[in-house]
Structure 1
Amino acid sequence: MSHPQFSSERPLLIYLHGFLSSPQSYKCELLKAWLLEHRPDIVFYAPLVSPYPGEASVVLGKILQDSIGNHLGPIGLVGSSMGGFWSTWLAEQHRLPAVLVNPAVKPSRFMPKYLGQDLQPYSGEMQTYRLAPEDVDKMRQLEGSVVAPLAGRYWLLAQRGDETLDCREAEQFYQGQRQTVEEGGDHSFQGFARYAEALVDFLFPPDNN
């Protein structure tokens, strides 16, 4: 996917997918389609996020630096699962608004179980990854840079039925931020489309456009 449309005054929404997912994920495609139909004024950008934290931090950091330096309009982030961590990491650096969907708060906790395995993206790309212990160490280092009080402006969207992550950790971490926590559901966040319009209004308040 090409870089976002820099030098535009249009809002720029950057979507960050989850671990071993891709820009072709269901929520990403759903949000992209919704914006095309209802908010074509918004520039949508969904980069492929590496599962290697060192590589991901460099690439995402460069994308945001370029966006901040060249884009004339407001910038907002949406992150799902691991993408929720990355959205928070970036929002803290640049004081950006971010919507977090069933986010991973401490990804280093689940990464060790993937060590030594050949990992392939859930979305079917012909690519194989293999995490090493130093990847877990790097993630712990990155986590240590995201501490309270939070500098970004956040909206947590979580479902208690998440079978992958315990949403109570996210509720605690984002305490004091806007939160919508639903009973039931699952890690994919059932009914995500219900929040598309409100999500956009949170990132880009109508009075600011």
Structure 2
Amino acid sequence: MTPFALNSPGGFARTSGVADLVVYLHGFRSSSRSVKAQKMIDCFDQAGLSSNLWVPDLPASPARAMAMIEQHLDARLQSQPELSLTFIGSSLGGYYATVLGELYAQASIVLLNPAIKPYDDLQDQIGKKKVYFSD
């Protein structure tokens, strides 16, 4: 399902329905209050589709983040087995979206500058760190 199509070098036009559930997954040390997440929320609000969007605040732990996402999705799919899914992932969220796309074969995936090897690239980030957009 393609909800938007490029209609000029600078703009997109809505072409068809959007997935029942679009999950925006932010990057490492980011949150639902990031610029990209807020633009996503605003876009869905303006289109009257805010109920189709889920922008969770992901824990820093990849295991906890994936468990939280899977728990939410499995509960939704149990009550709505035909639920169409789209994952939009930025940075580490792009890595998560890739993994989730393999777990949920019916899903579409959009990647924004995805992390390719976070298990190597984020080694220096282990430990207590400040999360952007919060204290």
- On whether the aligned pair clears a TM of 0.5, the verdict is yes
Give the Cα–Cα distance (whole angstroms) in 1 for the partners of residues 95 and 70 of structure 2. 13
Matched, 1:43 2:52: yes
Deviation of residue 40 (structure 1)? 2.5
Please list every run of at least 4 consecutive aligned residues from structure 1 whose deviation after the TM superposition is greater than 6 angstroms: none
Question: Which secondary structure does the structure 2 equivalent of 1:19 belong to?
Answer: coil
Kept in 1, the 8 Å contact 2:27–2:92? The answer is: yes
Structure 1 residues without counterparts, runs of 5 or longer: 1-9, 127-209
Aligned to 1:109: 120
Count of matched residue positions in the alignment of Structure 1 and Structure 2: 115
Question: Which secondary structure does the structure 2 equivalent of 1:121 belong to?
Answer: coil
Q: Percent identity?
A: 27
Aligned to 1:57: 66
Deviation of residue 76 (structure 1)? 1.0
Kept in 2, the 8 Å contact 1:81–1:103? The answer is: yes
Q: TM-score, normalised by structure 2?
A: 0.77
1:128-167 deviations in Å (ceiling 9; x for gaps):
xxxxxxxxxxxxxxxxxxxxxxxxxxxxxxxxxxxxxxxx
> Relative contact order (C-alpha < 8 Å, sep 6+): which is higher?
2
Q: 1:112 to 1:33 in 2, by over 3 A?
A: same
Deviation of residue 39 (structure 1)? 4.4
Give the Cα–Cα distance (whole angstroms) in 2 for the partners of residues 12 and 105 of structure 1. 25
Q: Which amino acid counterpart does residue 131 of structure 2 have in structure 1?
A: P
Larger Rg over CA atoms: 1
| Aligned ranges 1:98-177 → 2 under 5 Å | 98-116=109-127, 118-123=128-133, 125-126=134-135
2:30 equivalent among 21, 41, 47: 21
Greater strand share, structure number: 2
Deviation of residue 67 (structure 1)? 2.4
Q: TM-score, normalised by structure 1?
A: 0.51
Kept in 1, the 8 Å contact 2:22–2:53? The answer is: yes
Structure 2 residues without counterparts, runs of 5 or longer: 1-18
